[in-house]
């Protein structure tokens, strides 16, 4: 009788282990379908929160920013209220959705942009080694999972994350890639109040190792992608990426019925500088101009080296009047800046001519919009340079 009981226990343990391996395999396959970081993060969090996955009520991901020595909130998935939680679970149960279904459909049914939890997570940025980092920095520093139970008695005061979420019980897991910790996963059950077990911790830790490697691969891919889209001389985005972004943002502007403006800017008489002092000195000027553009444009504007001494600026949700104001600020900044050997130029200073085109005022098609911007730039040159047309 005892042997039969032991056999049943062993069989149950084997079944659990097999199910866990199948789940991890399914999640791993899902993560291999993309190299885009946002999609990887979404798959990870969906796997942690779905009934077909690890079954937590909500989960959040925070990644290390080595440059700023901070841990930044990247994404959070989970209901904002108990009522929303019940509605989601009933819908999932009625449709008998699999993990693949959730990964495909959840984003469209509950847009992350409208999620209070996701917005809150994205607002979190804590120092890596400061006490202000709270449980996230603690998990990162220790390199070990942290499980806080309701009766643990552990004081977590002055922790913005904990004060806002008010979790009864939660777990934080370090995300490791090779021998380096690249982030922290937070998960809890505020709606079902389901206790977090040792088995939950074990499988979550196993999953976190897979997730860490997937995130690292995605980050390496995005770094490579950024390099391929970046002008090596100025550090601005390049011409090819401008064409891609303009196409994407123009389609978005059409859907949302928002203005979109582009500024084409060309340095006046720059050939004189290159011919007199050489291209190496000219390159120094181009780098300085790129920095001035970065300071003079708005934070949300994207800057491109269009080619040679020509630059482009993409301004989303920006009317013609607003674009003129930004262009004038840039024109004045270049005119007032004391460039080395500027006495070579006419009027002993470097100047900039700018052309503006705005959707939908000037054109609705990408090629026509660019054509209008080029014509505006040509008009600025023809009318005497160091001016704006559009």
What are the CA-CA distances from residue 380 to residues 236, 333, 370, 390 (Å)? 24, 17, 15, 9
- Rg, the chain, Cα only: 27
Are the C-beta atoms of 291 and 303 separated by less than 8 Å?
Answer: no
Q: Nearest CA to 186 among 51, 76, 94, 277?
A: 76
Structure-derived torsion over alpha carbons of residues 353, 356, 362, 368, reported in degrees to the nearest 10: 70
Q: Nearest CA to 138 among 189, 89, 184, 77?
A: 184
Which residues are annotated as catalytic?
A: 309
Residues 6+ apart with CB under 8 A from 7: none
* Sheet strands side by side (includes 125-127): 125-127, 70-77, 58-65, 180-188, 170-177, 146-148
Are the C-beta atoms of 378 and 346 separated by less than 8 Å?
Answer: no
Helices (H), the chain: 2-31, 37-49, 82-95, 99-109, 116-122, 134-142, 160-165, 198-228, 239-256, 270-277, 279-296, 320-336, 366-382
Are the C-beta atoms of 359 and 261 separated by less than 8 Å?
Answer: yes
SS3 35: coil
Determine if residue 253 is left, alpha or beta; phi over 0 gives left, psi from -120 to 50 gives alpha, anything else beta.
Answer: alpha
- Strand bridging mode 125-127 / 58-65: unpaired
């Amino acid at each position: 009788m005892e042997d039969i009981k032991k056999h049943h226990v062993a069989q149950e343990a084997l079944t659990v282990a097999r199910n866990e391996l199948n789940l991890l395999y399914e999640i791993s396959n899902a993560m291999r379908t993309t190299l885009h970081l946002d999609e990887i993060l979404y798959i990870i969090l969906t796997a942690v929160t779905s009934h077909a996955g690890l079954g937590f009520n909500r989960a959040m991901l925070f990644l290390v920013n080595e440059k700023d020595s901070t841990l930044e909130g990247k994404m959070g998935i989970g209901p904002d209220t108990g009522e929303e939680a019940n509605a989601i679970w009933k819908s999932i149960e009625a449709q008998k959705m699999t993990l693949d279904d959730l990964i495909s459909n959840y984003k469209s049914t509950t847009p992350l942009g409208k999620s209070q939890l996701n917005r809150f997570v994205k607002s979190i940025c804590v120092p890596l080694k400061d006490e202000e980092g709270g449980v996230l920095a603690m998990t990162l520093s220790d390199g070990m999972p942290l499980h806080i139970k309701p009766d643990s008695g552990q004081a977590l005061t002055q922790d913005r994350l904990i004060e806002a979420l008010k979790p009864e019980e939660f777990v934080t897991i370090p995300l490791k890639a090779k021998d380096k910790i690249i982030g922290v996963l937070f998960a809890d059950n505020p709606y079902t109040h389901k206790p977090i077990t040792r088995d939950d911790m074990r499988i979550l830790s196993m999953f976190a190792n897979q997730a860490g490697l997937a995130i690292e691969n995605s980050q390496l891919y995005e770094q490579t992608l950024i390099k391929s889209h970046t002008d090596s001389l100025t550090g601005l985005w390049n011409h090819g990426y401008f064409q891609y972004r303009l196409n994407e943002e123009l389609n978005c502007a059409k859907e949302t019925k928002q203005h979109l403006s582009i500024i084409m800017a060309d340095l006046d008489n720059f050939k004189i500088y290159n011919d007199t002092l050489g291209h190496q000195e000219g390159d120094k000027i181009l780098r300085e101009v790129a920095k001035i553009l970065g300071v003079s444009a708005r934070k949300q504007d994207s800057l491109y080296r269009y080619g040679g001494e020509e630059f482009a600026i993409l301004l989303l949700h920006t009317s013609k009047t607003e674009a003129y104001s930004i262009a004038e600020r840039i024109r004045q900044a270049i005119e007032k800046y004391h460039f080395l050997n500027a006495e070579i130029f006419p009027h002993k200073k470097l100047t900039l001519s700018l052309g503006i085109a705005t959707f939908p005022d000037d054109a609705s098609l990408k090629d026509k919009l660019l054509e209008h911007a080029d014509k505006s730039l040509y008009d600025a040159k023809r009318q005497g340079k160091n001016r704006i047309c559009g």
